[in-house]
Amino acid sequence: MFQKRFEYFPLWPGTDDSAYAINYRSIGEARMLQEHWKEAEEALQKAVTLGDEPIERGGQSDSEFMRDEHANNLRMSQDLALNLLAAVYFREQRPAEVLKLLERAYEQATKFHAPVNVVRQIVETGRGISQSTGDAAAMAAWSGRSTAQN
């Protein structure tokens, strides 16, 4: 179903619409559930990359709605993709990359006031992965993080 949607995106709503990146995130999540890690990684990386340009455009817009609400919704979607991609990297035993992705997701989510449930997901992933890897510094950092900012 998600693959089929790519046939229609050029017609509507367009490949520059945020739904295009969200569709890649959905494909990545489905591939994770199938335990197709490499394919999940590819789709999630695409979702993250496709989110960068619309976020930047929204942040530079003259419209307050585009600068604030729309850009923050795009960031939230990207935060979720980063969190999922971190889980894939963990499964692929790439701990250094995992923690970098989670840092990026957490910083963006807290800076731009993502919903508490999004921040909570990122923090829980960070705590779990840092404990699993035995990284004492990461465990200390993630255990001190809270979702209370939102």
* pLDDT tens digits, one per residue of 30-73: 999 999 999 999 999 999 999 888 888 888 889 888 888 888 98
> H-type helices in the chain, by residue range?
2-8, 18-33, 37-59, 64-65, 71-91, 95-111, 116-133, 136-143
Q: 148 lies in a domain?
A: no
Classify residue 78: in a domain, yes or no: yes
Residue 21 lies in a domain: yes
109 belongs to a structural domain: yes
Number of domains present in the structure of the chain:
1
Q: What pLDDT is stored for residue 77 in this prediction? A: 93
Is a pLDDT exceeding 80 seen at residue 18? no
Domain span at residue 107 reads: 2-143
Domain assignment present for residue 150? The answer is no
pTM: 0.87
Residue 136 lies in a domain: yes
State the CATH number of the domain containing residue 126. Answer: 1.25.40.10
